[in-house]
């Protein structure tokens, strides 16, 4: 998806931000004030102290570049008027009658998500767009708005080109653990962990947009496994302000044998930290403390990663399984990415099985630069490694 505001992070800038810089991430909102009371900066050090995460200054500055005005309105349908579908991009236009007759057009996936969330007709909208028959849906919507006036949701607006646009629709119970709060909590948690354990993290890569964040923090000191290579453990922090119902800290790993490397990460079943967007601040504090369970996650992963010392190459069955998970995927990879995977599978290096396991996964990682697709690849890699360990 192409965002209005977007910044990328890399591992070149190791400059640390200051704890005092985080004061700009607490806004004049009730939830922000509760977060500040539960996680006061003074409990983590002086404002002049470094945040013990290399690259944290880059993250703080990148957020400023993508941050923009936002507004949330909880309104029932009786206070919303359907205006039309835009002739050019087919997005819905709504008027919020209790807010100075504010008219706003949907952007990104808003139109589909709005229609699907309230009326379960997102698919019908896509059908009408494809067939050029949105007038049918327009008539239907006018009736639905009249018949269900009490349907209430919270609407997220973004300010773009000095106009309000509709970004997303959420439950009225949804708490705004927006990206600025997640960055505030994440950096303080990693700083605290580093201070307590003397283990250092640096930003490896990431992306920030006006709606979500995806950031990798990598532990600087690896664990060496003979016959495998160096294992660098990572914490992947992600948050979506709209559709994602929680923000998470997940544990992954990068294996580097000095010549090739790849990143893998388990499926999102047992994250290190998981905070629901409906959770109270007191519970958030308890969940953030789970960062100190990192060693348990690392040890659990090492138990199956070590099996790679006996598997220098992927078996034909493992190769088939690996590529099938990508090529046959219906939604997680673009057609372009799947075609690149297919071409690699048909190359002589795979057909003749001349590459080591690490070389295969290293080169396969080059088929995409999209961070969401990269996450899906990493989950597949971990699945493949687990299967190797199970069968070894």
* Rama region for 90: left / alpha / beta (φ>0; ψ in -120 to 50; rest): left
pLDDT tens per residue across span 177-223? 899 999 999 999 999 999 999 999 999 999 999 889 999 999 999 99
Residue 246 — pLDDT band, cuts 50, 70, 90?
Answer: confident
d(CA 368, CA 357): 19
- The answer to whether residue 300 scores a pLDDT higher than 80 is yes
What token pair was written down for 167?
Answer: 């970004």
Provide the pLDDT for residue 330. Answer: 85
% residues pLDDT > 70 (the chain): 99
pLDDT tens per residue across span 306-347? 999 988 899 999 999 999 999 999 889 999 999 999 999 999
% residues pLDDT > 90 (the chain): 86
Please state the rounded mean pLDDT for residues 28-36: 93
Give the CA distances from residue 107 to residues 57, 63, 91, 135, in Å, rounded to whole numbers and listed in that order: 31, 21, 7, 20
d(CA 188, CA 291): 11
Identify the H or E element spanning 85: strand 80-85
266's CB contacts (< 8 A; 6+ apart) are: 250, 251, 252, 301, 379, 382
Give the CA distances from residue 82 to residues 58, 106, 142, 158, 380, in Å, rounded to whole numbers and listed in that order: 42, 12, 7, 19, 43
Give the CA distances from residue 97 to residues 142, 184, 291, in Å, rounded to whole numbers and listed in that order: 15, 35, 45
Provide the pLDDT for residue 94. Answer: 97
Q: Supply the Cα-derived Rg of the chain in whole angstroms.
A: 23
Sign of CA dihedral 143, 148, 149, 153: negative
What token pair was written down for 68?
Answer: 């923009």
**Is 86 within 8 Å of 110 (Cβ atoms)?**
no
Longest pairwise C-alpha distance within the chain: 69
What token pair was written down for 133?
Answer: 């028959």
Structural domains in the chain, CATH included, are 6-68+176-285 (no CATH), 70-170 (2.40.50), 306-391 (no CATH)
**Is 268 within 8 Å of 245 (Cβ atoms)?**
no
Identify the H or E element spanning 6: strand 6-9
- Short-list 201, 262, 184, 208, CA closest to 235: 201
């Amino acid at each position: 998806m192409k965002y209005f505001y977007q910044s990328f992070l890399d591992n070149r800038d190791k400059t640390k931000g200051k704890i005092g810089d985080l004061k700009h991430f607490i806004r004049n909102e009730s939830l922000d004030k509760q977060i500040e009371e539960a996680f006061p900066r003074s409990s983590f050090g002086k404002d002049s102290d470094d945040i013990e995460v290399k690259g944290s200054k880059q993250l703080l500055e990148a957020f400023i570049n993508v941050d923009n005005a936002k507004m949330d309105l909880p309104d029932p349908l009786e206070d919303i008027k359907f205006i039309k579908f835009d002739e050019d991009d087919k997005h819905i236009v709504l008027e919020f009658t209790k807010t100075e007759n504010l008219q706003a057009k949907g952007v990104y996936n808003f139109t589909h998500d709005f229609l699907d969330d309230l009326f379960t007709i997102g698919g019908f909208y896509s059908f009408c767009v494809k067939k050029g028959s949105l007038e049918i849906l327009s008539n239907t919507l006018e009736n639905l708005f009249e018949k269900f006036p009490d349907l209430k949701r919270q609407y997220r607006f973004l300010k773009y080109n000095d106009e309000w646009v509709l970004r997303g629709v959420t439950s009225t119970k949804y708490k705004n653990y927006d990206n600025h709060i997640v960055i505030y909590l994440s950096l303080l948690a990693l700083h605290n962990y580093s201070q307590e354990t003397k283990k250092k993290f640096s930003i490896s890569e990431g992306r920030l947009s006006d709606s979500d964040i995806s950031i990798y923090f990598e532990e600087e000191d690896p664990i060496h496994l003979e016959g495998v290579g160096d294992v660098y453990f990572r914490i992947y922090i992600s948050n979506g302000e709209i559709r994602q119902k929680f923000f998470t800290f997940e544990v992954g790993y990068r294996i580097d044998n000095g010549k090739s490397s790849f990143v893998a990460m388990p499926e999102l079943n047992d994250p290190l930290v998981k905070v629901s967007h409906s959770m109270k601040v007191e519970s958030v504090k308890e969940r953030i403390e789970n960062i100190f369970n990192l060693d348990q996650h690392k040890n659990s992963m090492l138990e199956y990663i070590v099996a790679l010392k006996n598997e220098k190459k992927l078996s034909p069955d493992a190769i088939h399984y690996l590529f099938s998970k990508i090529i046959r995927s219906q939604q997680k990879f673009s057609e372009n990415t799947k075609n690149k995977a297919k071409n690699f599978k048909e190359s002589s290096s795979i057909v003749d099985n001349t590459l080591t396991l690490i070389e295969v996964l290293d080169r396969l990682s080059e088929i995409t630069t999209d961070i969401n697709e990269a996450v899906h690849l990493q989950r597949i890699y971990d699945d493949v490694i687990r299967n190797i360990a199970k069968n070894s």
